[in-house]
A and B are shown apart, each in its own frame.
Chain A
Amino acid sequence: GAGVSQSPRYKVAKRGQDVALRCDPISGHVSLFWYQQALGQGPEFLTYFQNEAQLDKSGLPSDRFFAERPEGSVSTLKIQRTQQEDSAVYLCASSHVADRRPYEQYFGPGTRLTVT
């Protein structure tokens, strides 16, 4: 079956531009996570959705970062006024479980954002 998909796969933005990154989770998955992975580092948690509710946004680095999942399926991560330090791979993951003890997360291929 289809896995988690993300688009675009690559994005180049000029500093100051706004970008929108899309995640299509596995159909029926309740939980959705966003991560930021800088070069040579492990993924860092950004935010978590359970259906359409954003239950944890403690990892968003600044108020320039905004995520939504209005109908409980597709999610969009928006970065306003991009800065060079935003250059990273943005990963989306989904899980079929909505529980405080998380289960396997299925990861998408990521969107590589380069800010010039």
Chain B
Amino acid sequence: AQSVTQLDSHVSVSEGTPVLLRCNYSSSYSPSLFWYVQHPNKGLQLLLKYTSAATLVKGINGFEAEFKKSETSFHLTKPSAHMSDAAEYFCVVSDGGGFKTIFGAGTRLFVKA
């Protein structure tokens, strides 16, 4: 069975400081992992995806994530936060056993000026 745990419901950073959003997953198969972002009153947008190629994945807007199988983690990072990064972020897992896609509960990122 698949599951996703986002370890922080809220993260607050100052503009220009690093961002770390944590995600742990559980999957019976080799998983596909994604991070999506949801800005207020906007649709979900893909940030990046891992599908068994390189373990360090680069996405849009300077975000990246590292797949660590031994830790079953897929944490999202960004070296320097921007005000426009304030949004809800979802870690998502899907495995080769089916089409079901599992979202984490979300982490709301606040960016202070």
Q: Which residues does A use to contact B, with CB under 8 Å? A: 3-4, 31, 33, 35, 40-45, 48, 50, 55-56, 58-59, 91, 93, 100-105, 107-110
Q: How far is the CB of A53 from chain B (nearest CB, A)?
A: 11
Measured between beta carbons, the chain B residues less than 8 angstroms from A58 are 100
Count contacts between A and B, CB distance < 8 Å: 62
Residue pair B96, A104 in contact (C-beta under 8 Å): no
Dominant secondary structure at the A interface: loop
Instruction: Give 9 A-B contacts (CB < 8 Å), ordered by A residue.
Output: A4-B43, A42-B90, A45-B102, A48-B100, A58-B100, A59-B100, A91-B43, A107-B43, A109-B43
Interface size on B, residues (CB 8 A): 23
Task: Report the bound CA distance from A40 to B107 in whole Å.
Answer: 10
Residue pair A100, B99 in contact (C-beta under 8 Å): yes
> Is B26 located at the chain interface by the 8 A CB criterion?
no
